[in-house]
Amino acid sequence: MFSTEWKYVFKTKGMLKIILGILLVPTFYAVIFLASMWDPYGSIKHLPVGIVNSDIPIVKGHKTYSLGKKLTHQLVNNHDADFKQVNKSVAKKSLKDGKLYMAITIPKNFSKEALHLDPRAKRPFTLIIIPMLVLVLLR
């Protein structure tokens, strides 16, 4: 009984095409899906990220602290992602146009708050990260 069914499938061209389609479509889907998920962190270095430094340097004692500038410099020279220093308006436009994946904004009081960090204090420390997806949803 089983061999007669296979003989019928091989003799009928339309039936063979249907069976091949049933087998190949899920196979192609699985290969494409697995290829997209295989190395999710492998291409992060090509991910464009904008850095907006709004930090105002502060003077403490006889030394000037510009921690926002230092952080921006370290991120731009870091090759884990494609960090670019931009201003606020360029960051908003680039996010809207899809040229940046996200923007990290260093707030005005970054150096001041960082120098006043106390392990016993319960104050939050803030970096503003705006992913592209949020701006796309707000359009």
Whether this prediction's pTM lies above 0.75 is answered by no
Share of the chain above pLDDT 70, in %: 83
Mean pLDDT of the region 67-85:
90
- Please list, residue by residue across 93-106, b when 16 or more beta carbons sit within 10 angstroms of its beta carbon and e when fewer do: ebbeeeebbbbbbb
Closest CA to 95 of 128, 48, 43, 127: 48
Give 7-50 pLDDT, tens digit per residue. Answer: 887 788 788 888 888 999 999 999 888 887 777 777 788 889 99
- Closest among 61, 68, 74 to 112, alpha carbons compared: 68
